[in-house]
Structure 1
Amino acid sequence: MAQLEAFYRRHVEDMTRFVGRRFDDPHTVADVVADVFLAVVDSGDAYRSAARDERAWLYGVARHVVSAEYRRKHRADVLNSRVAGRRLLGADDIARVEDRIAAENAGRTAIEAMSELPPRQRAVLELVAVDQLTVAEAGRALGMSSVTARVTLHRARARLREAAGPPPDGATPAAGAPAASTDLSRSTA
């Protein structure tokens, strides 16, 4: 139990940021983060037997949980899904989650810029540029080799540069452009 608590404390902020870039409702963010850690408990044996990197494995689990939530929201009536089975958050809890969501606005902007990329390219670029995993970690999280992840990342960056077009000579980034930590074309591999 102590190991699970330590694991949770090590990764809860990263998971809240990861989910906060994908959903803007504090209740949904709190629920999905909780679901990520429930999925971790349920699939703990898979982690040990696969001998994977803890961080890459966790982001892989989180991506699956987020995808499941998107599918659930698509099928469910929006009003019922917001009321049914949710623990009500207190004002302090909502304020804390809203602050985290607001802090991820630049990340959501970056994800919107990637929406035209093919899913594999978008997934690798997102994990490397936004979530700051290494290319090898992103590859492991997505079930691909590090070489395949590196090539996929290169192609994604090239497509984004092509879509953005050449910058005017001497131009500086426009207001609202992604910050250095979410600069999708120059993140470290």
Structure 2
Amino acid sequence: YMTSATEHKCVTESARWIQSQGADVTYLDVDEFGKVNMDQLEEDLATHPDTALVSIMTANNEMGTLNPMDEIGALCKKYSAPLHTDAAQACGKIPVDVKEMGAAMLSLSGHKMYGPKGVGALYVSRKPRTRLRPIISGGGQERGLRSGTLAVPLVVGLGAAAAIAEAEMEQDMAHNEV
């Protein structure tokens, strides 16, 4: 497993947990702006061909730094390592194309794009197929990936927030240019 030293706590705590279960975890260095060290990423991918997952945030939640996700995705593809990106800080603010970045998984959070709190989304690639195990078993929703009933109003709110963010993104980006 590989991640960076500046990931959101939800990623670093998950990394620490799998490390406590015996998994090898590499914490990639970042430069003075918070960007992932691409040379280290390639070197570590080359020397760890069994890397189960690389998890790198698209946009840093504290510094605003944008990682070069297309380049990271290309390296992960070159070394057959699945890529997850936490795009919570990017979605709705800058164009995000999961296929261009080559991510096997992308997560986002509704409240980060002015949607309701308590709802998010996880994109999971079908080609190549990304296999996940459920955290909570039972119910069989989403082909057995999760159990329980979705909070439909929250899901609809997330969809509406995403549609508004997409419609207003160009105007918002022009407003934020320095």
Fold shared per TM-score above 0.5 = no
Larger proportion of strand: 2
Larger-Rg structure: 1
| Structure richer in helix, relative to its length | 1
Q: Larger RCO: Structure 1 or Structure 2 (Cα < 8 Å, ≥ 6 residues apart)?
A: 1
TM-score by length of 2: 0.32
TM, length-normalised to structure 1: 0.30
